[in-house]
Copies of this chain bind each other. A is one copy, B any other.
Amino acid sequence: MTTPRVFPLVLAGGSGTRFWPLSRKSRPKQFLSLVDRPLVVETVARLEGLCARADLAVIAGEEHEAELRRLLPEVAILVEPAARGTAPAIGLAALRAVAADPDAVLLVLPSDHAIGDPGAFRRALRQAIDLAAEGDLVTLGIPPTRPETGFGYIRVGEPLAGRPFAHRVRAFVEKPDRATAERYLEAGSYLWNAGVFAFRADRILEEIAAHAPEVHAALAPIRAAVDGPDFEAAVRAHFPRAPTISIDYAVMEKSARIAVVPCDCGWSDLGTFAALEEIVAADAAGNVVSGEAFAIDSRRNVVWARPGKPIALVGCEDLIVVDTEDALLVCRRDRAQEVRKVVETLERAGRGDLV
C-alpha cells in the first residue's frame, strides 16, 4: 500500500468567549500566543512531515482571512462565507481534496488546542491516516486523566484485526454528568473525543450524503464548480444554505464504520483559563503564571500579566487574573466557564468595543 496524499484541514472558525479579555471577536483563541506562537500556527507547525505544505488548508470566516494569510503565508486559506459548524466546512474541504486526488485522505484538526507531546500526536495521526486510507472514518481518542464533564466521550470497542493500535468505536457519548464521568474514568474503556479526524475525502462525502442530506444539497453545486473559475462564487452562493451542524452529530454518531486511535499526547482543549495549568508548569505554591507575578501567601492562582506590568497577589487563592491593555478580569477559578457572561454583560452594557 502506498502512502496516501494527505490534505489537512485546520478548523479556525471558532469564536469562543471563554478567554476574554485575551480573546476578542477580532482575535479568537486560535490567534492567542498562550505559550509561544499563535495556537493556529502551532497547529500547522505540528503537521510538519505529514503532508505537502501546499495541501494544507485552514478554514475560517472572512473577518480572519487577512490575519491568517499574514501568519501562514504558505497555507491555503478557505473562507467560509458564513459559520455553519464543522460538517459543511469539512464537506467543502473534502470536495476540493477529492478533486485534487480521488484517493485523498482528509485530516481534520481544531486550531486552538495544545499538544504536550507532538511526536506521540504525529505517530497517532500516521496510524489514523493509514487506517482511513482503507475506508474507515477514524477519530483520535484521548485517554481521560480526570472525570471531565465538559467533553464528549468515545466508547471503545474491540481492537481492529491487524491494527493493534486501533479499535472499533462502540458509541460516541454526550457530555456526561459527574458520576457518569467518574465511572467512565474508572472503566478505562472510554476516551475523550478531541475533534481530530482522518477519513478518505470521498468516504466523508458519501457519509454526508447518507446522513446529512441538507449539507450534501448545499455542497453539490459547489462540487460542480470546484475546478473552475466560479468556485468562490459558488461557495458564497451555496455554502450559507447548509444547516449549522457538527461533523460529530451529522456523521460520526451515525456512521457504521468508525475506528478510534488512542493517543496519549498531552492534549488539552484549553477550554478555559483554568486549563492553562495543563500547558504552563505551576510554581511551588500552585500558581500558574505568565509574565511577572509577586504572589504573597497566595496559592493555586492563574495569573496572566502583560509584558512589563507585574501583578501582585496578597492572600489570594484559586483566582484567575488576566490583565490586558484595555480590560482586566478577576474570576474565581472554579467559575472559569462563566467568563462568557462577562462578554454578554459587556454587550448589553453597550461596551461591545471590549468584546
A residues lining the B interface (CB < 8 Å)? 20-21, 294, 296-297, 305, 308-316, 319, 321, 323, 325-332, 334-335, 338-339, 341-342, 345-346, 349, 351, 354
Check A338–B314 contact: CB distance below 8 A.
yes
Min C-beta distance of A16 to chain B, whole Å: 16
Q: List, in ascending order, chain B residues with CB within 8 A of A351's CB.
A: 310
CA A316 to CA B334, docked complex, whole Å: 11
CB distance from A337 to the nearest CB of B (A): 9
User: A349 contacts B294, CB within 8 Å?
Assistant: yes
A-B contact pairs, 10 of them (CB 8 A): A21-B312, A296-B338, A310-B351, A312-B327, A312-B329, A312-B342, A313-B330, A314-B331, A315-B331, A315-B338
A339 partner, pick from B314, B319, B326, B346, beta carbons under 8 A:
B314
Partner of A296 from B309, B315, B342, B354 at Cβ < 8 Å:
B342
- Do B310 and A354 have beta carbons less than 8 Å apart? yes
Known: A294-B345, A294-B346. A330 touches B314 (CB 8 A): yes
Q: How far in angstroms is the closest Cβ of chain B from A9?
A: 35
Cα separation A78 to B315 with both chains bound (whole Å): 40
Majority SS at the chain A contact face = mixed
Closest residue to A323 on the B side, CB-wise?
B328
CB distance from A24 to the nearest CB of B (A): 13
Q: How far is the CA of A294 from the CA of B297 in the complex (A)?
A: 27
Q: Which residue of B lies closest to A20 (CB)?
A: B312
Which single member of B305, B319, B338, B349 contacts A328 (CB below 8 Å)? B305
Within 8 Å CB of A346, what residues of B?
294, 310, 312
**Of B314, B329, B335, B349, which contacts A329 at CB under 8 A?**
B314
**Please, which residue of chain B has its CB at the minimum distance from the CB of A345?**
B294
**Residues in B whose Cβ lies below 8 Å from that of A294:** 342, 345-346, 349
With both chains docked as a complex, state the minimum distance between the C-beta of A241 and any C-beta of chain B, in angstroms. 38
Q: Is B328 within 8 A of A311, CB to CB?
A: yes
Q: Distance (Å) between the CB of A267 and the closest chain B CB?
A: 26
A305 to B323, CA, bound (A): 12
> Bound complex: CA of A308 vs CA of B327, how far in Å?
9
- Asked if B315 and A335 make an inter-chain contact with CB atoms under 8 angstroms apart, the answer reads yes
Residue among A297, A309, A321, A351 with the highest chain B CB neighbour number at 10 A: A309
CA distance A325 to B328 in the complex (A): 12
**Chain B residues near A296 (CB, 8 Å)?**
338, 341-342, 345
Chain B: CB-nearest residue to A303: B330
From B311, B315, B335, B339, A332 is in contact (CB under 8 Å) with: B315
Residues in B whose Cβ lies below 8 Å from that of A305: 328
Interface contact B315-A328, CB-CB below 8 Å: no
4 A-B pairs with the lowest CB-CB distances in the bound complex, closest first? A315-B332, A314-B331, A315-B335, A312-B342
Question: Is there an interface contact between A335 and B312, defined as CB atoms closer than 8 Å?
Answer: no
Bound together, the chains give a CA A145 to CA B331 distance in angstroms of 33
Residues of B within 8 Å of A21, CB to CB, are 312
Apart from A310-B328, A311-B330, A314-B341, 4 more pairs, CB < 8 Å: A21-B312, A312-B327, A312-B342, A312-B345
**A159, chain B: closest CB distance, angstroms:** 45
B332 close to A314 (CB less than 8 A): yes
Find the B residue at minimum CB distance from A295.
B345
